Amino acid sequence: MPPDGPAPASPFGLKGRLAMVTGAGSGIGRAIALGLAAAGSDLLLLSDRDNLAPVAEEATATGAAVTTELLDLADRPARRAAVERLLDAHAVDVLVNNAGLIRRGPSAEFADEDWYDVVEVNLHAAFELCRAAGRRMVARGHGKIINVASLLSFQGGLVVPSYTASKHAIVGLTRALANEWAPHGVNVNAVAPGYVTTATTTALRSDPTRSDEILARIPAGRWAEPADVAGSAVFLASPAADYVHGHVLVVDGGWLAR
């Protein structure tokens, strides 16, 4: 017979928390936002495109309170002003740095703008969001930051030098911030997705030879869906991960094990 009294709260529950998710309108960001909402979190969703209404509607249907913001993270002055304004107005408990950009081309001919544009969004914007949210989390004595890394945080890839460099850097940044902020009750971790069916991988999936090469190395035998990544973010955002600091949780169908 169960004991008297209320059932204990789930260690994965996020009721009463507010999560800020960048790049939330599609792909992995959208799936993470919906996963967090299903776990009880309210949402502050950012995108550089007018694509947040559908995910906001779906999250609201789960009971989440949702605020949306159109923001181009590549625009440094606008980004900095908006981030400070949003974090002053909303006590963010969870930050998910998901927004990302990829450009492809042979390194010997790689254009300057393709280097700087990718690093601006993937690294500089992510650091500024971490810095602004982390400063407030440290002052409050709690908070969770989840950066979205990549398999190319561990490998070199092909013809994506700026993306690979930025994703290696995100792992280093995650560990550096974890070292500083763990004593203040702030968890900084990363999720490293494998090959996921998103707009970022359209070129790979459209190339039958490359797609077959990739599938042949994935023990799970399939590309990931964005929803496959959401649970890892929910875990890292939850009380279940309170003693997890500076970790990179790989969600790759076994790719690195192969």
Element (H, E) at 189: strand 186-193
Please report, as a single letter, which amino acid is at residue 246.
G
d(Cα 137, Cα 5) in Å, to the nearest integer?
33
d(Cα 47, Cα 39) in Å, to the nearest integer?
22
Residues in the chain: 258
Element (H, E) at 44: strand 42-47
Beta-bridged to residue 67, according to DSSP, are: 44
Q: What are phi and psi of 252, to 5 degrees?
A: -135, 10
Alpha-carbon torsion 201, 245, 239, 181, what sign?
negative
Element (H, E) at 148: strand 143-148
Task: Based on the residue annotation, tell me whether 163 is a catalytic residue of this protein.
Answer: yes
Beta-bridged to residue 188, according to DSSP, are: 145
> What tokens does 171 get?
């792992």
Alpha carbon 46 to its chain centroid, in Å, reads 12
Alpha carbon 161 to its chain centroid, in Å, reads 20
> How does DSSP classify residue 9?
P
Beta-bridged to residue 250, according to DSSP, are: 192
Catalytic residue (choose from 116, 163, 195, 243): 163
Comparing CA positions, the residue from 241, 126, 229 lying closest to residue 173 is 126
How many helices and strands in the chain, by DSSP H and E?
Answer: 9, 7
* Catalytic residue IDs: 163
